Amino acid sequence: MEANKIEVSETIPASRKLQASDARGLLKSVSKLIVAKGKKVNEFTVKDRVSRDAVEAMLGPTGNLRAPAIRAGKIMLVGFNEEIFEGTFG
């Protein structure tokens, strides 16, 4: 984050497990969701209603929100993919 001069406004410890209802709440303030799982990247347009597919994509096998989860303006990025991260935040 520091290398890209990104200021972190809130950090949530890993011990606090965020689940589907938390993920749904995070999507209420964004218009675009990007979910990266390795080389696989899915993009969702978030409108009035949050889709089940978008929420499920944000969750890992344990049902908790995958890390990292980054909200910047109206874009939410969940998971890590170097190319997407650089293109969005670089």
Where is mean pLDDT largest: 35-39, 57-61, 70-74, 86-90?
A: 57-61
Q: What is the pLDDT of residues 46-61, one digit of tens each?
A: 988 889 999 999 999 9
- Within 10 A of 43 (CB to CB), how many other CB atoms are there? 13
Name the pTM for this structure.
0.84
Cα 8 → chain centroid: 14
Helix, strand, coil fractions of the chain, as percent rounded to 5: 30, 25, 45
Half-sphere exposure of 80 (CA within 13 A, CB side): 4
Residue entry with tokens 């109206």? 74
Q: Give the residue extent of every domain in the chain.
A: 2-89
The predicted pLDDT at position 90 comes to 64
Mean pLDDT of 21-31: 92
